[in-house]
């Protein structure tokens, strides 16, 4: 970032050159010394302007401070927490001091490295006191990977290679999960009537005064909540899920919501063939997403979305506890209604605050770039600052929570944009898929864990057997 891009107040700008042939004219009809409100000021009188020229003038008037572009430092889960809450593995440090332990072999060092990669924690250092136990669970993680392979068939009934004493899904473990672990909560399957989707509702046994329904979308997330021994209410679960960047929904029944207006639509910018955005475009994108997230319903929906969208929203939401301000009374404004199959009762509708396709694209910084000079809207490709959901899904970053490796990738990506790194450019969606594969077996490890978690939840925790 050069000094020419930042003014004396720290705002990112790009100079507007006004020449005799320019089609941009700045007009100031205020008297000298007059104080202008933010909505007033020198008004741009633009004749036959281009989109780029208008955005440059807008950037001068409402500049983005350089601190707004620097990503926040976010505290993410440790390796120990990942193993405990996402895999159910309780690691007990060795009682022997580290110097008395024999030096590890090159093969053991390779296993430690592979274990951290497969759990999405490759950027985190290993704890020498826990390394002996990690060697014991290495084969267990390899077993999970085998379940996710096509030839594995997803058979979670196959003999587990996890050490029984440190895995809470094994009945021999001292901290075995069961319905008795959380007697104040039940779990039921939620299936959409007209959509190919389902989730799990965590239901308090004392339903009096419940203002919303909590739905998660992976069996692994159900077990994560049940592993929170001190959690006493749904709010405790939501606080933890939001901390980890897990997708969830806070829903209200359909008959409690009054329709007010149609869902928000925002135009995604179209750009000519060969377009490649620069730093000023990135600053403009940050301003647009910040303005969008100023709407409380949008901010809540982004936090509940989890993953990359959650991480982007965390840049502009000062306190994640803001999630408890919802669901709002205008859920139908930024929400969708799902028709739910009733079990032992008639079908019913639930509303959840959600993001429209345009809002998701705006948060990812999408540009629709024409493939030819003719500019047919039917022939465009989507360039974006961050991968769209279609590219993010099933990638090495889509693990069901925001991992340390995902945070490291996110921070490095933004630094590439801010420093002008030639590799830090907007990519189309095919390029994004190739870029964020990361470690081959990471997603397989978590898919295998989801297979095991689903079998456990359906067998031991569900209120209604399926």
Q: Which of 17, 35, 69 is the last residue of a domain?
A: 69
- pLDDT for the residue 178: 84
Can you read off the two tokens belonging to residue 107?
A: 């093969």
Q: DSSP letter at 92?
A: -
Give the whole-angstrom CA distance, residue 309 versus residue 301. Answer: 9
Measured CA to CA, the distance from residue 79 to residue 244 in angstroms comes to: 13
Q: Is the pLDDT of residue 21 over 50?
A: no
Q: Count how many domains the chain has.
A: 2
Q: How far apart are CA 121 and CA 439, in angstroms?
A: 11
d(CA 331, CA 315): 24
pLDDT tens, residue by residue, 294-323:
988 899 999 999 999 999 999 999 888 888
Domain that residue 28 falls in: 3-69
Report the pLDDT averaged over residues 378-400. 92
Which of 51, 69, 87 corresponds to the end of one domain? 69
| Residues β-bridged to residue 243 | none
pLDDT at 198: 85
Residue 189 lies in a domain: no
Is residue 216, in this structure, part of any structural domain at all?
no
Q: What is the pLDDT of residues 125-149, one digit of tens each?
A: 877 777 888 888 999 999 999 999 8
The pLDDT assigned to 18 comes to: 41
In a domain, 106, yes or no: no
What sign results for the dihedral spanned by CA atoms 122, 443, 161, 224? positive
Q: Is residue 411 part of a domain?
A: yes
The answer as to whether 156 is a domain residue is no
Mean pLDDT over 182-193 rounds to: 86
CA distances (Å), 429 to each of 5, 302, 380, in order?
Answer: 29, 21, 12
pLDDT beyond 80 at 363: yes
Which of 20-29, 168-177, 316-325 is least confident?
20-29
Instruction: Give the residue from 19, 35, 69 where a domain finishes.
Output: 69
Of 173 and 466, the structure prediction assigns the larger pLDDT to: 173
Could you tell me if residue 428 is inside a domain?
yes
Residue 112 placed within a domain: no
Residue 142's H or E segment, with its range, is: helix 131-148
Q: Rounded to the nearest 5 degrees, what angle is found at the Cα of 303, between the Cα atoms of 455 and 357?
A: 90
- Percent residues over pLDDT 90 in the chain: 46
Contacts of 141 (CB under 8 A, 6+ apart): 87, 115, 118, 119, 445
pTM of the model: 0.82
For residues 264 and 292, the answer to whether their CB atoms sit within 8 Å is no
pLDDT bracket for residue 456 (50, 70, 90): very high
Give the number of other Cβ atoms within 10 Å of residue 80's Cβ.
16
Burial pattern 394-425, b for ≥16 Cβ within 10 A else e, equals ebbbbbbbbbbbbbbbbbebbeebbeeeeebe
Q: Using one digit for the tens of pLDDT, what is the confidence trace for 233-290?
A: 999 999 999 999 999 999 887 764 455 545 556 678 999 999 999 999 999 999 999 9
- pLDDT confidence of 16, banded at 50, 70, 90? very low
Q: Considering the domain boundaries, does residue 92 fall inside one? A: no
């Amino acid at each position: 970032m050069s000094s020419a891009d930042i003014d004396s107040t720290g705002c990112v700008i790009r100079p507007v050159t006004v020449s005799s042939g320019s089609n941009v004219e700045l007009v100031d009809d205020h008297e000298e010394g007059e104080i202008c409100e933010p909505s007033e000021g020198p008004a741009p009188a633009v004749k036959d302007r281009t989109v780029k020229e208008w955005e440059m003038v807008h950037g001068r008037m409402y500049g983005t401070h350089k601190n707004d572009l620097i990503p926040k430092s976010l505290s993410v889960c440790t390796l120990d927490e990942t193993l405990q809450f996402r895999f159910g593995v309780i690691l007990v440090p060795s009682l022997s001091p580290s110097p008395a332990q024999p030096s590890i072999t090159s093969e053991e060092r390779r296993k430690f490295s592979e274990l951290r990669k497969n759990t999405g924690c490759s950027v985190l250092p290993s704890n020498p006191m826990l390394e002996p136990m990690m060697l014991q669970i290495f084969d267990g993680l390899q077993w999970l990977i085998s379940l996710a392979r096509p030839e594995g068939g997803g058979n979670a009934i196959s003999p587990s290679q996890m050490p029984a004493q440190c895995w809470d899904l094994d009945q021999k473990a001292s901290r075995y999960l069961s319905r008795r672990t959380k007697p104040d909560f039940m779990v039921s399957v939620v299936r959409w009537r007209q959509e190919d989707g389902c989730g799990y509702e965590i239901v308090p046994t004392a339903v009096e005064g419940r203002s919303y329904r909590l739905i998660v979308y992976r069996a692994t997330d159900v077990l994560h909540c049940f592993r929170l021994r001190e959690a006493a209410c749904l709010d405790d679960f939501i606080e933890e899920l939001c901390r980890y960047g897990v997708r969830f929904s806070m829903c209200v029944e359909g008959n409690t919501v009054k329709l007010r207006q149609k869902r928000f639509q925002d135009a995604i910018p179209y750009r000519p063939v060969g377009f490649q955005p620069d730093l000023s475009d990135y600053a403009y994108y940050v301003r647009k997403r910040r303005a969008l997230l100023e709407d409380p319903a949008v901010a809540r929906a982004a936090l509940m979305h989890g993953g990359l969208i959650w991480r982007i929203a965390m840049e502009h939401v000062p306190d994640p506890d803001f999630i408890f301000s919802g669901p709002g009374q205008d859920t139908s404004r930024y929400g969708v209604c799902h028709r739910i199959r009733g079990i032992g009762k008639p079908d019913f509708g639930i509303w959840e605050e959600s993001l429209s396709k345009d809002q998701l694209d705006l948060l990812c910084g999408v540009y629709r770039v024409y493939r030819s000079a003719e500019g047919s809207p039917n022939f465009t490709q989507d360039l974006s600052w961050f991968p769209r959901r279609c590219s993010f899904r099933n990638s090495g970053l889509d693990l069901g929570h925001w991992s340390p490796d995902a945070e490291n990738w996110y921070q490095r990506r933004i630094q590439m944009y801010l420093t002008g790194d030639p590799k830090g450019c907007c990519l189309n969606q095919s390029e994004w898929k190739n870029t964020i594969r990361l470690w081959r077996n990471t997603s397989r490890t978590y898919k295998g864990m989801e297979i095991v978690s689903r079998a456990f939840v359906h067998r031991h925790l569900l209120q209604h057997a399926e």
